[in-house]
C-alpha cells in the first residue's frame, strides 16, 4: 500500500510538473507571439513612414511642374503684349511724325550709308498732309542727289505708305538729328568738365602740382 501510495504520489507529482510546465510553455509561446506582433507592428510603422516619404517625394516631383507651366503662360502673355505694343506704335506713328520728332524717326528707318547721312543731316520743316518737306544741310551737298531723296522716301513709306518727300539743299531752318546729337554731346562734355573742375580733390591736386585738366580726356558718364 505504501508503495502504491508512493507511486500515486509520484504520478501526481509528474502530473503536477506537467501542469506546471504548461503555463510556462504557453507563456513562452504567448511572449513569442507578442514579440512577433511587436515586430510586425514595428515593420508596419516603418512601412507607413516609407509610404509617407514616398508621398512627399511624389509631391516634390509634381510641384516644380507648376511654375514651369506658369512661366510658359507668362512668356506667352509677354510676347502677345510686345506684339500688341508694336502694332500700337505702327498705328500711332502716322500721327506723331512732326518737325520736333524727326530725330526719333530717323533712327527707325531702314537706311545706311549715304541715304542715312542725308536723313540725319536734314531738318523736317513742314508737314502738309502726306507731304514732308526737308532742308538738307549744304555740308552734304557733294553727297546729295535725287536718288538719295527717293531712298529716304522709300524707307519712310514702310511707316507712311503715302508719304511724299521733298528735299532742298539749303541751310536748315530747324535742327537736324545730327546737329541735335552734336549739341547734346557738347552739353554733356561741358557739364562733365564743370563737375571735375569743381571737385575739391581735383582742385587741390591742380593747385599743388600746377596742373590743368585736358579737355580731350574728359568723358561724360552716359
CATH label of the domain that carries residue 139: 3.30.300.150
Tell me whether residue 60 is in a domain: no
Q: Is residue 28 part of a domain?
A: no
pLDDT at 151: 97
On whether both 106 and 147 belong to a single domain, the answer is yes
User: Does residue 84 fall inside a structural domain?
Assistant: no
Number of domains in the chain: 2
Whether residue 213 is contained in a domain is answered as yes
pLDDT score for 222: 65
What is residue 98's predicted lDDT score, i.e. its pLDDT? 95
Give a yes or no: residue 142 inside a domain: yes
137 and 107 within one domain: yes
For the question of whether the overall pTM of this predicted structure is more than 0.75, the answer is: no
Residue 159 within any structural domain of the chain: yes
Same domain for 108 and 137, yes or no, is yes
Q: Would you state the pLDDT for residue 154?
A: 97
- Do 194 and 144 lie in a common domain? no
Residue 124's domain comprises: 97-174
Same domain, 202 and 135: no
Residues 189 and 159 in one domain: no
Q: What is the pLDDT of residue 202?
A: 87
Q: Are residues 183 and 207 in the same domain?
A: yes
- Domain identity same for 134 and 189: no
Dihedral class, residue 75 (left if φ above 0, else alpha if ψ from -120 to 50, else beta) = alpha
| Residue 197 forms part of a structural domain | yes
Per-residue pLDDT of the chain (222 residues; tens, 9 = 90+): 333 433 333 333 333 343 343 344 433 344 334 443 433 333 333 344 444 444 444 444 444 443 444 444 445 555 566 666 555 555 555 458 999 999 999 999 999 999 999 999 999 999 999 999 999 999 998 989 999 999 999 999 999 999 999 999 999 999 999 999 999 999 999 999 888 888 999 889 888 888 888 888 888 876
130 within some domain? yes
Amino acid at each position: 500500500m505504501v508503495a502504491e501510495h508512493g507511486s500515486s504520489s509520484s504520478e501526481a507529482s509528474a502530473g503536477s510538473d506537467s501542469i506546471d510546465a504548461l503555463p510556462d510553455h504557453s507563456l513562452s509561446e504567448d511572449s513569442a507571439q507578442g514579440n512577433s506582433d511587436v515586430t510586425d507592428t514595428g515593420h508596419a510603422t516603418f512601412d507607413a513612414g516609407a509610404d509617407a516619404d514616398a508621398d512627399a517625394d511624389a509631391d516634390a516631383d509634381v510641384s516644380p511642374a507648376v511654375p514651369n507651366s506658369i512661366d510658359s503662360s507668362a512668356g506667352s502673355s509677354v510676347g502677345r503684349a510686345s506684339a500688341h505694343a508694336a502694332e500700337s506704335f505702327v498705328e500711332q506713328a502716322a500721327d506723331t511724325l512732326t518737325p520736333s520728332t524727326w530725330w526719333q524717326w530717323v533712327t527707325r528707318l531702314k537706311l545706311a550709308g549715304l541715304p542715312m547721312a542725308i536723313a540725319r543731316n536734314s531738318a523736317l520743316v513742314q508737314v502738309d498732309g502726306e507731304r514732308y518737306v526737308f532742308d538738307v544741310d549744304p555740308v552734304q551737298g557733294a553727297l546729295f542727289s535725287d536718288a538719295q531723296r527717293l531712298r529716304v522716301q522709300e524707307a519712310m513709306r514702310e511707316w507712311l505708305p503715302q508719304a511724299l518727300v521733298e528735299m532742298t539743299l539749303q541751310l536748315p531752318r530747324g535742327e537736324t538729328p545730327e546737329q541735335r546729337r552734336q549739341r547734346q554731346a557738347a552739353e554733356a562734355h561741358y557739364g562733365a568738365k564743370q563737375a571735375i573742375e569743381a571737385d575739391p580733390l581735383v582742385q587741390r591736386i591742380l593747385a599743388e602740382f600746377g596742373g590743368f585738366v585736358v579737355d580731350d580726356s574728359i568723358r561724360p558718364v552716359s
